[in-house]
Amino acid sequence: MNKLKAIVKRYRLFLLFLAVNLLLLLFAPEYGAAAFKKAGSNLKEMLSILPPIFILLGLMDVWLKRETMMRLMGKGSGIKGAALAFLLGSAAAGPLYAAFPVAAIMLKKGATLFNMFLFIGAWSTTKIPLLLFEASNLGIPYTLLRLAFNLVGIVLIAFLLERSLTEEDRKAVAEQAQKN
C-alpha cells in the first residue's frame, strides 16, 4: 500500500492531467481527442530524442574525468569556464528539456552552478542554427542586438540565481547531482 501511495504521489501531476483529459474526452470529445493526439505526438518526439541523449550522457559520464570537468568548468575556471559553458550550450542540438540531464552530469563532474546556469541559458536562447536562421531572415543587426541582450541577460540571471541560493541549497543540489 505504501508503494502505491509513493507512486501516486510521484506521478500526481501526470494523473491529474490524465483525469482532466479523460473528462475533456467525455464532455468535449473533439477537444479531448485533439489533446490526446497532441500528447501522443509529444511522447513520440521525446522518445525519439531522449535515448540518443541518454547514451551520450552515459558515455560522457564514463569518459569525462571529474578532474577535467573541475579544471575546465569548476571553481576557479573563471571566464574560460563560463565561455566554455556558453559555447557548449550554443552548439548543442535538441530541445531544452534535453539540456537538464546534461547539466546534471556537468554538476556531478564538478562544474559550478554559475556555469551550469550559463549552459542552460545558452542552450535555450543562443543556438548557432537559430542565430544563422535569424540573420538570414531578420537581418544581421537584429540578430546581433538580440544576441547582445541575451548575453547580458543570461549572465545576469546566472549570477542572480547562484547568489540567491543559500549554502544549504547548494549542498542539496550537489548531493542530488551525486545521487543521480
Give the pLDDT confidence score for residue 72 in this predicted structure: 87
Number of continuous H segments (helices) and E segments (strands) in the chain: 10, 0
| Higher-pLDDT residue of 103, 64 | 103
Phi, psi of 26 (to 5 degrees): -75, -45
Q: Which three cell numbers stand for residue 96?
A: 531544452
| Higher-pLDDT residue of 119, 93 | 119
- Nearest CA-CA partner of 88 in 60, 55, 49: 60
Check whether 114 has a pLDDT greater than 90: yes
Give the pLDDT confidence score for residue 23 in this predicted structure: 93
SS3 for 44-58 is: HHHHHHHHHHHHHHH
CA 162 from centre of chain: 16
- Considering only 48-62, 87-101, 113-127, 147-161, which range has the smallest mean pLDDT? 48-62
- Considering only 9-18, 49-58, 108-117, 141-150, which range has the smallest mean pLDDT? 49-58
d(CA 168, CA 180): 18
d(CA 178, CA 164): 22
Check whether 51 has a pLDDT greater than 90: no
Residue 54 binned pLDDT confidence (cut-offs 50, 70, 90): confident
Per the CB < 8 A criterion, the answer to whether 74 and 64 are in contact is no
Mean pLDDT across 112-124: 95
Residue 120 binned pLDDT confidence (cut-offs 50, 70, 90): very high
Q: Which three cell numbers stand for residue 18?
A: 490524465
Give the pLDDT confidence score for residue 50 in this predicted structure: 81
| Higher-pLDDT residue of 40, 60 | 40
Q: Which three cell numbers stand for residue 151?
A: 548575453
d(CA 34, CA 69): 45
- Considering only 47-56, 75-84, 162-171, which range has the smallest mean pLDDT? 47-56
